[in-house]
Amino acid sequence: MTNHWLGFPLFPEQASSMAGRMDALYFFLVAVSGFFAILIFVLIAVFIVKYRRRDGHMPVPSGHGHMWLELVWTVVPLALTMVMFFWGAKLFFHIYTIPPGAIDVFVVGKQWMWKFQHPEGQREINELHVPVGRPVKLTMISEDVIHDLFVPAFRVKRDVLPGRYTAMWFEATRPGKYRLYCAQYCGTEHSLMTGWVYAMDPVDYQNWLAGGAATEPMHVAGGKLFQQLGCATCHKADNTGRGPTMVGLYGSRVTLKSGEVMLADEDYIRDCITKPNARPLPNYEPIMPTFKGIISEEGLLQLIAYIKSLAVPAAQTRSETK
């Protein structure tokens, strides 16, 4: 491989659609930095040799600065940093803006392992199988402290927080096996919280999904939980229960009692279940019991997958009244 030299690597593999963009920015930064570093080194070297102290050689005191020069070395670096700023910001938003149609994968981090679940129901630990050529969205949460999922070959990373979902995406471009790390210090076995991402041909991926023990898709498991936990007693499909219906909730805009309008995304639904009544709705009594500690993070993700499966196509919003 080209990125190896004398048997050890000097440059990471490029295995995602992000890698090329990241490396282009990197080379730009290296070029600018190299230019200034070398400029300074050469100037210093020349000056200290040329103006070394010698007998009979009188120094010429520098005046009180030099407006024009000062301006040049203020404005030129400023201009260059602004290029860095815009380029970096653009890449950042690209990295964290999830493209439509991405495959959903759910991630739960805990001391010290990664648990992955695919919408089709497959679960994995410290291993993640994804197809190449399709964007994959990771919805991530931690059961305890802060972790961080990092795949160097894909040039992506994001903190995984307790109590709140974070998301990122990538699109693998080359089949292969790539390291994944936990990059946020999380305790004793932080350095062992590592694993592999397997990027597979789409066909192989389908086979992989189909193989193994028969699994239940996440939203089906979620639907069962919805019955078992008694959610269905209040939340009825036809909106006749004591709570609002879940049909069409996901992705809609909810108007709270306070008048605030919120997007019903993963975090919103999670908060509704773990901290019910924190954001009261108009027309409903605050009677929903808390399910905090009763449902695991995986269970919550399944419930969300279920509620998501009840979403109606955009534009059609759910009526807010009983």
Partner 1 sequence: MDESHAIVAHQFDDAGQQRESALLGMWVFLATEIMFFGGLFAGYTAYRFQYAEGFAAASHHLDMLLGAINTAVLLTSSLTMALAVHSAQVGKKPAHIVGWLILTMLFGCAFLGIKVIEYHDKFVHHLVPGASFAWEGALARQAQMFYYLYFAMTGLHAIHMLAGVAVVLVIAIQAARGRYTPQYHNPLEITGLYWHFVDIVWIFLFPLLYLIA
Partner 2 sequence: MTTSEPSLPRENFLNCDYSIRSWLLTTDHKRIGLLFLVSITLFFVLGSAYAGLIRTELLTPRGDVVSPQNYNKLFTMHGLIMVFFFLIPSIPAVLGNFLIPMMIGARDVAFPRLNLASWYVFSIGGVFTIITAVSGGVDTGWTFYTPYSSIYSNTSVMTMAVGVFITGFSSIFTGLNFIVTIHKMRAQGLTWFRLPLFVWAIYATSIIMVLGTPVIAITLSLVGLERLFHIGIFDPALGGDPLLFQHLFWFYSHPAVYIMILPSMGVVSEIIACFSRNRIFGYKVVAFSSLAIAVVGFLVWGHHMFVSGQSAFAGLIFSFLSFLVAIPSAIKVFNWTATLYKGSISYDTPMLYALGFIGLFTIGGLTGLFLATMGMDVHVHDTYFVIAHFHYIMVGGAIMGFMGGMHFWWPKITGRCYPESWGKLSALVIFIGFNLTFFPQFILGYLGMPRRYHTYPAEFQVLNVMSSAGASILGVGYMLPVFYLFWSLRNGPIASANPWLAKGLEWLTPSPPPTDNFEQTPVVTEEAYAYRPEETASG
Q: Does 144 bind partner 2 (CB under 8 A)?
A: yes
Interface with ligand CUA in residues 139-158 (CB under 6 A)? 147
150 binds, among partner 2, ligand HEA, ligand HEC, none (CB under 5 to 8 A by kind): partner 2
Spatial strand order in the sheet of 195-200: 127-131, 195-200, 176-182, 147-151, 156-160
Q: What's the closest the beta carbon of residue 83 comes to ligand HEA, in angstroms?
A: 10
Q: Does 9 bind partner 1 (CB under 8 A)?
A: no
Question: How many angstroms separate the CA atoms of 298 and 134, rounded?
Answer: 24
Are residues 102 and 89 in contact, defined by beta-carbon separation less than 8 angstroms? no
Q: 166-189: buried (b, 16+ CB within 10 Å) or exposed (e) per residue? A: bbbbbbbbebeebebbbbbebeee
Question: How many angstroms separate the CA atoms of 272 and 270, rounded?
Answer: 5
Q: Which stretch binds ligand CUA (CB under 6 A): 3-11, 29-37, 150-158, 180-188?
A: 180-188
| The dihedral sign for the CA sequence 98, 99, 100, 103 | negative
Q: Which residues, 6 or more positions from 19, have their beta carbon under 8 angstroms from its beta carbon? A: 12, 13, 153, 154, 155, 173
Task: Report the 10 Å Cβ neighbour count for 4.
Answer: 10
Q: What's the closest the beta carbon of residue 236 comes to partner 2, in angstroms?
A: 31
275 binds, among ligand HEC, ligand CUA, partner 1, none (CB under 5 to 8 A by kind): partner 1
Q: Does 272 bind ligand HEC (CB under 6 A)?
A: yes
185 binds, among ligand HEC, ligand CUA, partner 1, none (CB under 5 to 8 A by kind): ligand CUA
Question: How many angstroms separate the CA atoms of 316 and 308, rounded?
Answer: 15
Q: Does 310 bind ligand HEC (CB under 6 A)?
A: no
Q: Does 202 bind partner 1 (CB under 8 A)?
A: no
Question: How many angstroms separate the CA atoms of 2 and 13, rounded?
Answer: 9
Q: What's the closest the beta carbon of residue 123 comes to partner 2, in angstroms?
A: 24
Question: How many angstroms separate the CA atoms of 140 and 147, rounded?
Answer: 10
Q: What's the closest the beta carbon of residue 39 comes to ligand HEA, in angstroms?
A: 8
Q: What's the closest the beta carbon of residue 110 comes to ligand CUA, in angstroms?
A: 8
The residue among 137, 167, 132, 124 whose CA lies nearest residue 153 is 132
Q: Which two tokens stand for residue 68?
A: 């024009």
Site string for partner 1, 262-281 (x = CB under 8 A): -------------x-xx-x-
132 binds, among ligand HEA, partner 2, partner 1, none (CB under 5 to 8 A by kind): none
Q: Does 222 bind ligand HEC (CB under 6 A)?
A: no
Q: Which residues, 6 or more positions from 223, have their beta carbon under 8 angstroms from its beta carbon? A: 306, 309
Q: What's the closest the beta carbon of residue 286 comes to partner 1, in angstroms?
A: 5
Q: Which stretch binds ligand HEC (CB under 6 A): 98-106, 129-137, 165-173, 225-233?
A: 225-233
Q: What's the closest the beta carbon of residue 86 comes to ligand HEC, in angstroms?
A: 38
What is the binding site for ligand CUA (CB under 6 A)? 109, 112, 147, 182, 184-186, 190, 193
